[in-house]
Amino acid sequence: MNLLQTRALSRHFGGLQAVRDVDFTLPRGQIRALIGPNGAGKTTFVSMLCGRIGASSGQVFFEGRDITALPAHKRIRLGMAYTFQITSVFADLSVFENVALAVQARLERGQASGGLTGEVMAALERVGLAGRAEQRADALAYGHQRLLEIAMGLGQRPKLLILDEPTQGLSDGEIEAFIALIRGLAGQGDEQTTVLLIEHNIPVVMALAERISVLNFGAIIAEGSPDEIHANGEVQAAYLGGAP
Amino acid sequence: MEFGPHLILAMLEGLVQASVLTLTALGLSLVFGVMRVVNVAHGEFFMLGAVLAWWITQALGGPAALGFAVALIGAPLLVGLIAAGADWLVLRRIDYDPERTIVATIGLLYIIQQVVLMTYGPEARPVTPPFNQRLAIPWFEWANGGLELYFPWGLSTTSYKLFVIAAALGIGLALWAVMARTRLGLILRATQADSETAQAFGVPVERVYALVFGIGAALAALGAVLVVPIQQAHYLMGGDPLLLSFIVVIIGGLGSLRGTVLAAILIGMSDGIISVFFSPTLAKILATLLVAMVLVYRPQGLFGKVRA
Amino acid sequence: MKRIFLLHIGLIVLLFFAQFVLPTYHQGVMARIMVMAVFAMGYNLMFGYTGLLSLGHAMFFAAGMYGCGLAIKLAGAGVVVALGAGLASAAILALVVGLLALRTIGVGFMIVTLMFAQTLYLVILYFGTYTRGDEGFALAADSRILAGIDLTQPTARYFAAWVLFSGVLLGILALVRSRRGRVMVAIRENEERARMLGYDIWRHKLVVVILSGTISGAAGATYALLFGYVGASFAQVPYSIFPLLWVLLGGPGTVLGPFIGTLFMFYLVDISSGLTDAWMLVVGVTLVLLTLFLPKGLLGSLRARGVKWLV
């Protein structure tokens, strides 16, 4: 069963075609990585999925339903979560309050069982920030802020977790923990989370992804298992600067 | 007076108002275009120009034309310097943050206005125009089987008013020439387009901002000096020009000088014409609502660019 | 948590007992301050807590004032009905303004609110036959009696102002500490992030505008009742600047800030107008100094230095 699907999704900015005619399918429970050189259109594509920006043409489907015209906050409520490429937390608020805001939205919709504090601390524990709950978000080191972003994503208990370059700025140990965390998410039975990961860190991609999509100049040039992509000449050329 | 001549008179008066408004609004537009800040004290710089013109002409005495000529150069210069100083002391230190700038310029508004009240006083005082010949304007009527020219009583203008229109035209063209053709204009346009890149290219952005803020204020003051022989100088005279300039700049499109000029002519003329035939309050209500609606539904105005 | 509660209750109790201690002149001033502080608290909801800078809040104050005053003058309504009319006027205006103005952001929002306020002022002038325009009108003393209490009497007037002030203060305290309050702050801090957590930003903002406008309208209606005067000057630009000034001075985004700011400015202006006609100069200088050196206001700066119980 496909959780997410796009059909001929495109986006242009003035004369620049950032994303062109992308057909994308994401089955439930999969960990998918989206890779590609800088400027390939990854963030633009993913922003169209979660509704941050609108599509110039094409369609987006979530759980079989056409959500192309749906505003961002409604898509989030359907079960998507998005962590920003450039860390975007609530600087003046504490770590706890940041995650509380993520959890609270769900609580209001009656979609959570545990209490607010319980849910928040659970999310913080999973990223290892439980000890810093009272610290102000902007007092955290950059790497910890990224972990906070992930905690906020977890706090939403989404069906689809979209992570935009989550390991950027993390130390090796934190990256290991991150990999374990994501693996744990995907294999959680009923609460299976589908993960879409934009990443530049190839070892992370290889360790986590069940399937990889490669984007270049706004179009998908390859899709397959990690080994297949690894061996794909076109992908290597794209990264090393050969002709598209 | 019949309708035709009445309309001509209204249009002439409107053209005079539009000329002054064009200069004032250009000042506001320049500041917003280059610095991206809203200067709520703009009307007070206008008023300051008028009051300083009065002072200069009083202090100099002698023939009206001489005093006026000195005021025409001196008042805008002084106002420009004051404005540049205000920018250097205050606006620069708050980093041109949009909210804080609005608050700071509101404060500046009251400071300037009240200082003038304390020194110049609450009275309105006239300034003698340098020349003021009455010029009758002919109109047509059917007579003796054909069109004939005659001079309707009351349909006249003055040589000074025509001068105002010509002066505004000249200054507007000069401004355009500077912006489009000189190095200074290039620097200003570059700073407007991308201040960070301009800075990376060695443009002293902070000094440019002070200069622009000064020029913006000087333009308003210039408009005021031109109009003060027709109106009088009064400490509260900045309110209407501020509101009208806002209206012009928004309708014309924030940051578009061309749009500002066109909108100023449109609004200056229509304000004059509508006020002649309808209640001025109603005209103002319509104008104010129009601005609000333009901002709500077409924020880039008529000629502004949509910010991506 | 307890300290926060005690602090706010403490102020309310202090103000209650002050009426017995203050000389008559200051009783009147304090009554005025409390009503204006409510106006400022309404403004603070939008500006301090949600980050929406309106330059037209005088229109909500005036809507409440005229709704109440005209109900009494033209329809002979009783105090309660008139108050209701004032509140309703302000609320409806806030709804309409919110629906339109929230389509703009930043500078556009400021100018649109300014324009709407200016429009209301001009409309009041235009219908001068009913509103008496700039001159305004007085409300007869016998129309300002609520359940046998004559609101024109200094003590009753002070008490009425105190009731309004306390009610609004506690209401706002509850609001900002609630979940909705947390969302308001989130919108102010990082709107895009809040949107991407699933919050309907537009709806939250609209609710804030309506609440803010209604509270400001309550202040206007109460002012008309307690001080017996309705005038177009309250719809003009200075009365949109004052709440901004009071909130900025006291501390935007704090519950007590608006009151502190209003109190401070009232007495500052009181003293200055004794010295010169140009007392608005003090307003101007204060604004410039505030935005230069104390952008967080008095209480806001205290809170930033770690005094946590100033919410």
Domain residue limits at C111: 2-236
Lowest mean pLDDT among A63-72, A116-125, B249-258, C263-272: B249-258
Percent of chain B with pLDDT over 90: 26
pLDDT of residue A49: 93
Hey, are the CB atoms on A101 and C198 less than 8 Å from each other? no
B102 at interface of C, judged by CB pairs closer than 8 A? yes
Contacts of C305 in chain A (CB under 8 A): none
Confidence of residue B223 (pLDDT cuts 50, 70, 90): very high
Which pLDDT tens digit goes with each residue over B181-209?
888 888 888 877 777 777 777 778 888 89
- Share the mean pLDDT of chain C: 90
Burial of C262 per CB tally in 10 Å (0-12, 13-18, 19+): buried
Domain residue limits at A134: 2-240
What number of C-beta contacts closer than 8 Å exist between A and C? 56
Q: Is residue B11 part of a domain?
A: yes
Candidates C231, C226, C265, C267; CA nearest to C31 is: C226
Q: Please tell me the distance from the alpha carbon of residue B133 to that of residue B136, in angstroms, as a whole number.
A: 10
Report whether pLDDT(C161) > 90. Answer: yes
Between these two residues, C216 and B153, which has the higher pLDDT value? Answer: C216
Q: Is residue B152 part of a domain?
A: no
Helix (H), strand (E), coil (C) string for B95-153: CCCHHHHHHHHHHHHHHHHHHHHHHCCCCCECCCCCCCCEEECCEEEEECCEEEEECCC
Max CA-CA distance within chain C?
Answer: 56
Q: What's the mean pLDDT in C51-57?
A: 93
Candidates C226, C207, C263, C244; CA nearest to C40 is: C244
For residue C137, give the 3-state DSSP assignment.
strand
Domain count, chain C: 1
Report whether pLDDT(B305) > 70. Answer: no
Q: At what angle do helices C106-126 and C238-250 cross, to 10 degrees?
A: 140
Q: Is residue B233 part of a domain?
A: yes
User: DSSP readout, C71-101?
Assistant: HHHHH---HHHHHHHHHHHHHHHHHHHHHHH
Contacts of C192 in chain A (CB under 8 A): 52, 88
Contacts of A95 in chain C (CB under 8 A): none
Q: Is residue B24 part of a domain?
A: yes
Q: What's the mean pLDDT in B267-288?
A: 76
Nearest to A76 among C179, C183, C197 (CB): C197
Q: What's the mean pLDDT in C243-258?
A: 92
C230 at interface of A, judged by CB pairs closer than 8 A? no
Q: What's the mean pLDDT in C182-197?
A: 91
Contacts of B99 in chain C (CB under 8 A): 53
C23 at interface of A, judged by CB pairs closer than 8 A? no
pLDDT of residue A242: 46
Touching subunits for chain C (3+ Cβ pairs under 8 A): A, B
Which pLDDT tens digit goes with each residue over C61-111?
999 999 999 999 888 888 899 999 999 999 999 999 999 999 988 778 888
A70 at interface of C, judged by CB pairs closer than 8 A? no
pLDDT of residue C34: 96
Q: What's the mean pLDDT in C38-52?
A: 94
Candidates A38, A20, A28, A1; CA nearest to A165 is: A38
Hey, are the CB atoms on C286 and B38 less than 8 Å from each other? no
- Share the mean pLDDT of chain B: 84
C38 at interface of B, judged by CB pairs closer than 8 A? no
Q: Which residues are CB-contacts of C255 (< 8 A; sequence separation ≥ 6)?
A: C8, C41, C169, C172, C173, C176, C310, C311
Hey, are the CB atoms on C189 and A152 less than 8 Å from each other? no
Q: Is residue B230 part of a domain?
A: yes
Between these two residues, C217 and A226, which has the higher pLDDT value? Answer: C217
Element of type H or E holding C138 = strand C137-138
Contacts of C55 in chain B (CB under 8 A): 102
Contacts of B280 in chain C (CB under 8 A): none
Between these two residues, B150 and B17, which has the higher pLDDT value? Answer: B17
Put simply, the chain B residues between 252 and 281 with a CB less than 8 A from any chain C CB are 279, 281
Question: Long-range contacts made by residues B116-124, C-beta under 8 angstroms, separation at least 24?
Answer: B116/B47, B116/B48, B116/B51, B116/B235, B117/B235, B117/C277, B117/C278, B118/C276, B118/C277, B118/C278, B118/C281, B120/B51, B120/B54, B120/B55, B120/B233, B120/B235, B121/B235, B122/B234, B122/B235, B122/C277, B123/B234, B124/B232, B124/B233, B124/B234
pLDDT of residue A243: 44
Taking CA atoms, what residue in C is nearest to A74?
A: C198
pLDDT of residue B291: 79
B106 at interface of C, judged by CB pairs closer than 8 A? yes
Between these two residues, C250 and B200, which has the higher pLDDT value? Answer: C250
pLDDT of residue A190: 60
Put simply, the chain C residues between 171 and 200 with a CB less than 8 A from any chain A CB are 179, 182-183, 185-186, 189-190, 192-200
Domain residue limits at B207: 3-130+159-297
The enclosing domain of B257 has a CATH number of 1.10.3470
In degrees, rounded to 5, the angle at the alpha carbon of residue C48 between the alpha carbons of residues C242 and A53 is: 125
CA distances from B111 to A192, B165, C170 (A): 64, 32, 36
**pTM (2 decimals)?**
0.86
Lowest mean pLDDT among B15-29, B192-206, C213-227, C228-242: B192-206
- Spans of chain A below 70 pLDDT: 108-114, 187-191, 240-244
Confidence of residue C37 (pLDDT cuts 50, 70, 90): very high
Q: Please tell me the distance from the alpha carbon of residue B242 to that of residue A243, in angstroms, as a whole number.
A: 58
Lowest mean pLDDT among A19-33, B116-130, C135-149, C215-229: C135-149
Hey, are the CB atoms on A88 and C190 less than 8 Å from each other? yes
Q: What's the mean pLDDT in C121-139?
A: 89
The enclosing domain of A97 has a CATH number of 3.40.50.300
Domain count, chain B: 1
Which residue do the tokens 């620069």 mark? B92
The span from the first CA to the last CA of chain C, in angstroms, equals 10
Which pLDDT tens digit goes with each residue over C194-210?
999 999 999 999 999 99
Of A170-179, B49-58, C14-23, C55-64, highest mean pLDDT: C55-64
Q: Is residue B289 part of a domain?
A: yes
Q: Is residue C269 part of a domain?
A: no
